[in-house]
């Protein structure tokens, strides 16, 4: 199968391409800079440019769409242009070129309204209540993608939750950097149970969704390791793998949420050079339970995770050594 993977220069995108190639697919990547994956052919451009998108999609049998603006802060219009407009552009190009399958890589945050998630399946994407511009626009994009589902263009939405592993700059690197600087607190008592997904498991699930698109199209699936851990336990595992001291101090969850809201307001006026140290969304993610029922995902996708959290942490430790 000829597969176009967007956003392949990112952490999960590169891993998806590697899994696609290992499965025998012919892979073309589409992003703003080279993917760096041997065996894949790169097309450089932006999902916001219709001409670039059209050039990338021509001759493809399937599209796996990962490209997105992922950030805790930023201009709302940029999130909309990339996450919603980019998805619309990819879908329109898919229809023009007769692409048969489309995997929309989404996020569980599209259905998270700030409360605990305890054993839920994939709830409907809800832009009106999603927390922050990233989650809101990803929710809008998922709804746009699923609305385009048909027998001619089979669309599946996959929501990997909290993806991590060696080379991760979004979760692992930030945790390690802040722990090393003594700026990584536990919010509340650190006992909230959260799911996470080792990167190879997320990639294999996306591949499984592509292979099963003719059967499961029109559906959304949350993907995790299926091994909920306490926030404190997961952070400690990452820190110890990297050889840094785990969090030693705590902040009340309510105080962290209030501080996150205040920082967001300041950041909107005078953004810093990096991500804000705290946002309301991040405080909620680190202080509320969010773990998911994986039975439908595993049954429908005919998939099980191949790397446990313990094995993933061992691989992470090797990468740091």
Hey, which residues are catalytic here?
A: 134
**Nearest in space to 168 (alpha carbons), one of 157, 179, 181, 177:** 177
Looking up tokens 């696609």 gives 20
| Residue 154: both structure tokens together | 């089979």
Count of CA atoms in the C-beta half-sphere (13 A) of 142: 29
- Give the three-state DSSP class for 44: strand
Residue tagged 């999130």 (tokens): 79
């Amino acid at each position: 199968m000829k597969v176009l993977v967007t956003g392949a220069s990112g952490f999960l995108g590169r891993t998806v391409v590697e899994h696609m190639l290992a499965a025998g697919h012919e892979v073309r990547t589409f992003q703003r800079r080279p993917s760096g994956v041997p065996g894949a052919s790169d097309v450089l451009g932006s999902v916001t440019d219709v001409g670039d998108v059209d050039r990338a999609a021509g001759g493809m049998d399937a599209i796996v769409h990962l490209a997105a603006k992922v950030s805790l802060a930023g201009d709302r219009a940029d999130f909309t242009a990339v996450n919603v407009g980019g998805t619309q552009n990819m879908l329109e190009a898919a229809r023009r070129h007769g692409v048969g399958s489309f995997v929309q890589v989404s996020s569980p945050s599209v259905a998270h309204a700030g409360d605990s998630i305890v054993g839920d399946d994939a709830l409907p994407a809800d832009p009106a209540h999603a927390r922050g511009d990233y989650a809101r626009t990803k929710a809008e994009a998922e709804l746009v993608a699923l609305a385009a589902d048909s027998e001619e263009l089979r669309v599946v939405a996959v929501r990997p939750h909290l993806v991590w592993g060696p080379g991760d700059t979004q979760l692992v690197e930030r945790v390690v950097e802040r722990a090393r600087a003594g700026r990584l607190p536990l919010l509340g008592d650190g006992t909230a149970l959260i799911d996470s997904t080792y990167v190879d498991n997320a990639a294999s699930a996306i591949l499984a969704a592509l292979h099963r698109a003719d059967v499961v199209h029109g559906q959304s699936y949350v993907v995790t390791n299926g091994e909920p851990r306490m926030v404190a336990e997961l952070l400690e595992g990452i820190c110890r793998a990297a050889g840094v001291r785990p969090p030693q101090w705590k902040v009340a969850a309510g105080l962290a949420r209030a501080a996150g809201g205040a920082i967001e307001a300041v950041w909107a006026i005078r953004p810093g050079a990096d991500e804000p140290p705290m946002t309301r969304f991040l405080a909620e993610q680190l202080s509320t339970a969010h773990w998911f029922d994986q039975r439908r995902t595993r049954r429908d996708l005919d998939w099980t995770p191949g790397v446990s959290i313990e094995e993933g942490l061992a691989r992470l430790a090797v990468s740091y050594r």
